[in-house]
Amino acid sequence: MVARSGEDYDGLDLLDETFATNYDAITGNIVEHCPVAHTAAGWLVSKYEDVREGLNQWEVFSSGAGGVNPWRPESFHFLKPNEVDPPLHGKFRRPFQRLFAPGSTALLEQPMRETARWLVAKIVERGTCEVATDYARPFVGITFFKHVLGLQQHDAVEFTELVHAFLNGPLEQQNAAAAEYVERCDDALRSYSVGSRTSEMLETILALEIDGQPASWDDKRAVLSLMIIGGLDTTVFSITSLLNHLCDDEASRRRIAQDRSLVPAAVEEGLRLFAPAWMLGRTAMRDVELRGRTIKAGEYVLLSFGLANKDPDVFENPLDFDLDRPAQKHIAFGAGPHRCIGSHLARLEIQVMLEEWFASIPEFRRHPGTKATYTTTLVRGVSELHIDVGG
């Protein structure tokens, strides 16, 4: 694809199949030739320095003014704490930080490994799998719903399907799926009460106070809604996209199989190259001049984590999957006050899934005649990947 000027990208439809199919070529040109592109959904900002600065300058680029999703379903209220700005943002976030701290998430490692080994054993027995449905989604669902939220196991399948439907399904179905999702969050929260035998996470949500006053029911439901959204498809896409890459990257695959101490490096490179939350929205609170373009107050801005992670000014050979890349600077989890609260949990989940996969499946390949299916909306990743065990 030839280089294009910034004006040529004006009106680019990020939900169009042409964009999704040619994602790498189009976004590569945007990073190189049009670092601030005016798309149909808003200004797309792609340079690492600009994105990181924008994420830190919440007074200039607000999460609370217009939310983070340019395609917000009609039934969705703003999710907290992600879609409020400081200082209110911190009041919603602080009660949950200890629950996602490294020490707390480390306690989940053993049950995670047991789940991963159980799923991998079934895959080895069959000799083939569809990674999302046979491995990633059940692993993440069991981990998050059973061990983090303390909800009933049957909730995992229903919630996982609903989240995928309203984040990544056809536009004409997203509103209905989102409305059902909100209703299910409400039902789940109402089925528990403070003091009942439930998880510390649900206890914290139910007991949430803001400025010494009980949080509203809508706010409590908004917190649960965000926790579930943040804990599902993004982590699923991280492992499916990474395994898809390793199907083709034989050198890296063999290195990891021979030396599983390389798994953390593989996880970081996967997060950098295939950041599942490839962009999140903000609203400009004043006029901003950025790389020769004027973003006016009130206009919508898309800060792209995924494209910033491929900025050649920051990452040498940014499109290469490099297990020897020096200390990571990637912003797959964002930056600033709204940085993903669940990053430690997500990293551990992906690491455990990859380690247990390679422990039993050191050799694998994409099923002949198939190719990975990608989903590209607010999140991007491999949504279907058929793999055969063995060489």
Alpha-carbon distance of 271 to 325, in angstroms, equals 13
Residue 157 has pLDDT above 80, yes or no: no
Nearest to 135 by CA among 387, 391, 390: 387
Angle at 386 between CA 380 and CA 388, to 5 degrees: 140
pLDDT band at 4; cut points 50, 70, 90: low
Question: Amino acid identity of 96?
Answer: F
Q: What is the CB-side half-sphere exposure of residue 373 using CA atoms within 13 A?
A: 11
- pTM for the model stands at 0.94
| Three-class DSSP category at 389 | strand
Q: What local confidence, expressed as pLDDT, does residue 196 receive?
A: 62
pLDDT at 298 over 60: yes
Write out the DSSP string of 296-359: PTT-EEEE-HHHHTT-TTTSSSTTS--TT--S----TT--GGGS-TTHHHHHHHHHHHHHHHHH
Residues 197-236 pLDDT 10s: 678 899 999 999 999 999 999 999 999 999 988 878 899 9
What's the CA gap between 70 and 16, in Å, rounded?
A: 14
Residue 6: pLDDT over 60: no
pLDDT of residue 106: 96
Nearest Cα residue to 75 out of 206, 236, 218, 209 = 218
pLDDT of residue 300: 98
CA nearest to 188, candidates 216, 230, 231, 217: 217
Return d(Cα 116, Cα 91) in angstroms, integer.
Answer: 35
Res. 65: pLDDT tops 70: yes
Neighbours of 66 (CB within 10 A): 20
Three-state secondary-structure class, residue 100: helix
Q: All domains of the chain, ordered by start, with CATH?
A: 6-389 (1.10.630.10)
Element at 280 (helix H, strand E): strand 280-284
Could you give the count of Cα atoms lying within 13 Å of 330 in the half-sphere of its Cβ? 26
